[in-house]
Amino acid sequence: MQLSERQRSILKKLISTGALSIDKLKPLFPVSRETLRQDLLGLETLGLISRAYGEISFIDSPANGDFLQDLGWMTKTQRRERLLGLLAKHKELRISSLANRLNVTASTIRSDLDELEGEGLVVKKHGSVSLEAPTIPDPTVAETQSYPLKARILGQRGLFHINPNETIFLDGSPPSRFIAEGMPFHANIPIATNSLAVVDILRKRGYSSDILMLPGTVSIATGDVSVHGARSFFAQHGIRKAFISLRSYSNKTFYSDSESEAISAAEICEHAEKIFLFLDSITIDKKGEHEFPYRRYADKIQEIMIDDGLSKEEAALLFNRKDPIAICGLDFAYQNLSKRKYRIGFLVNKDKNYFIQAVYNGLQEAALAYKSTFLVIRETEGEYKAVLEGCSKIMEEKIDLLVDFTLCIDSMFHVGEKCRSRGIRLISVDLHIPGAVYFGADNSEAGRIAGEHASGFVTANWEGRLDRVIILGRHDIDPVTNLRISSAVETLQERVALPASAIKTIEWGDPERNPTQELIRELKDIPPEEKLLFIGFNLRHLLGAHDIIARHRMAEHTILVGQNYTQQIDELMKDPNSPIIGCVQYDPETYGERIMDLAQKMLENHQVQPINHTKHSWIPNPYRRQESNRAGNSIGRKEINPTRSG
């Protein structure tokens, strides 16, 4: 469908405002009434709009929705679906964040949310919104409105302990079911369980990794399996981490709900490498009948997660000093309550993308190895006011050292000055804060790696010809992105003849622009035979652009190099039409161990380097069928070595 610029503007107005009369449309477009009628007739002929009772409206059909997606637009229906999908993934988001993610105004988002709230699907708060909290039934505990929130808090904490490529066990408790609902796809995390409810959740989600059912006797009443004789099962599959809910706690003793649960838990704990326990605060100081064998497996138990219905002071009185208690709230966690020598604060961005979660997980796990540290975690939005508030709250905990991973440029001088004035040591992650010890990426090196491999491909496969470069950048380019971009482009220009006029940047994150639409328009204007390179500097930008590029360009003439290699990138690489030739990786899984090592040295007054970099590596696409190079050598898929190289 070919539309004039004015027809596109008319269509966009109808989509954003709803039905309008021609009298209300005319003041918006400085043309004659007859010209406007002709434009509307053309849209009506294409089946995009309808006219009835003097009003003109967009026809929100699947076919028209597909057409708008090619333009980089969304219908109201598509926007609502995308909005609900984002809330299902992130649980709660700022309205401004939703507007930026969906490339619409905040007023449009508020209008959508008003309707969704009226339908009982979302709950609006002060400047943010969340899905309506579902009721999670639990036959063993008297239900209250707050219990689903506790399941969410404990389940979310449990999710932070799970990493790709490890097999886990989930029981049938509400926190475990919450984990099953939130497990990431394509991360190779096999799930073993003794709960038919967990199996049903994973089945309905179409979970992509293996689901392993433990052997035993199933209870028709509860849908849970009493595990027995599972030694060979554990020997075959190997459970890395087990998540188990306890019935109650009293007088230094933990209890299971029934004898069969206690026996099953013992069998699971016997063979699992690491154990994580859930405990509802309302069951504390309540004696049960069936003792959980806690002391037998104390060395394996990594954390006992309790919701914040229990105070730190109460926990210090009720539990043994060596018990690895973690009191969990919606945006904070106190990882250990025993009297420790040092208190480390971790101020972290709430936006749990793959990279941030990997660092979050790694730091928590690494902290467990240091018996002299008390870890205080507070999550925050990556915005100036939110970071300042989070910084003030975490400093109220009398911390000795702060790890800042908020990635907020606007607040970094404030955080640095506040730590300096209070004598608090500071480690900044992936952002250079004045006065802090830095740990993270060497952005100049990361850009060089991307530019080097891109130019190497162009030289080997395209005879050194490169017609155009499109940079998928970020709005209001920060020093991190800017350094990666300049380093990659400089490296590329050193090796390939490329005038500055052949380089274009498409910005993501500008609320006044639609990058998807801009990308589609750019792709339609580029001749298909031109040799085109895309350079991505943010995982989110790359994921948002990949399908559009693959749909509009042939891989034979198009390549893409990215940053922040993850399992998601690997899944994209498997697409035979994917333009990705490889991606720079930063090994976020190792951040936690390195950060804790730095923190311990700083707390003990050892000398540390002011700048510390993670390891960088290049992950080539092992699935892409490369073109023949000038020597006539063809590199097929089977001949590519997918191992990492520096």
Per-residue model confidence as pLDDT tens digits over 116-134? 876 667 777 666 787 754 4
SS (H, E, C) 15-38: HHHCCECHHHHHHHCCCCHHHHHH
Task: Show contacts of 511-517: CB within 8 Å, 24+ apart.
Answer: 511/99, 511/100, 511/103, 511/105, 513/103, 513/475, 514/72, 514/73, 514/103, 515/72, 515/103, 515/541, 515/544, 515/545, 516/72, 516/103, 516/544, 516/545, 516/548, 517/71, 517/72, 517/73
Give the 3-state secondary structure of residue 71: helix
The two tokens of residue 155 are: 């389940």
Q: Report residue 635's pLDDT band, with 50, 70 and 90 as the boundaries.
A: very low
In angstroms, rounded to a whole number, what is the distance separating the alpha carbons of residues 323 and 295? 10
As separate numbers, helices (DSSP H) first and strands (DSSP E) second, the chain gives 22, 30
**Which one is predicted more confidently, 337 or 402?**
402
Query: What would be the CATH architecture of the domain defined by 443-585+616-639?
Result: 3-Layer(aba) Sandwich (3.40)
d(CA 472, CA 474): 7
Per the DSSP assignment, residues forming a β-bridge with 401 are 344, 425
Residue 591: pLDDT over 80: yes
Taking only the tens place, the pLDDT of each residue in 252-273 is 999 998 888 899 999 999 999 9
Query: What distance in Å separates the CA atoms of residue 361 and residue 163, rounded to the nearest whole number?
Result: 7
- Measured CA to CA, the distance from residue 434 to residue 585 in angstroms comes to 26
Measured distance between the N- and C-terminal CA atoms of the chain, rounded to whole angstroms: 47
Q: Which amino acid is at 586?
A: Y
3-state secondary structure of 478: coil
Q: Where are the domains of the chain?
A: 1-59, 73-132, 135-328, 443-585+616-639
Please tell me the pTM assigned to this model.
0.62
Report which of 450, 399, 455 is spatially closest to residue 427, judged by C-alpha positions: 399
Please give the share of the chain, as a percent, with pLDDT higher than 90. Answer: 36
Q: Which fold has domain 135-328?
A: Rossmann fold (3.40.50)
| Averaged pLDDT for residues 80-85 | 78
- Out of 20-24, 62-66, 80-84, 322-326, which region has the weakest mean confidence (pLDDT)? 62-66
Looking at the chain, the whole-number percentage of residues with pLDDT higher than 70 is 86
Q: What's the DSSP call for residue 500?
A: G
304 pLDDT exceeds 50? yes
* Contact status, residue 178 vs residue 200, Cβ threshold 8 Å: no
Q: Tell me which of 3.90.1150.10, 2.40.10.120, 1.10.10.10, 3.30.2350.10 is the CATH number of domain 73-132.
A: 1.10.10.10
Q: Are 135-328 and 443-585+616-639 equal in CATH topology?
A: yes
Closest CA relative to residue 215, chosen from 186, 200, 237: 237
The dotted CATH code for 1-59 is 1.10.10.10
For 429-486, how does the pLDDT look when each residue is reduced to its tens digit (9 = 90+)?
999 998 999 999 999 999 999 999 999 999 999 999 999 999 987 645 566 677 888 8
Helices 106-118 and 95-102 sit at what angle, rounded to 10 degrees?
110
Euclidean distance between CA atoms 194 and 208, whole angstroms = 19
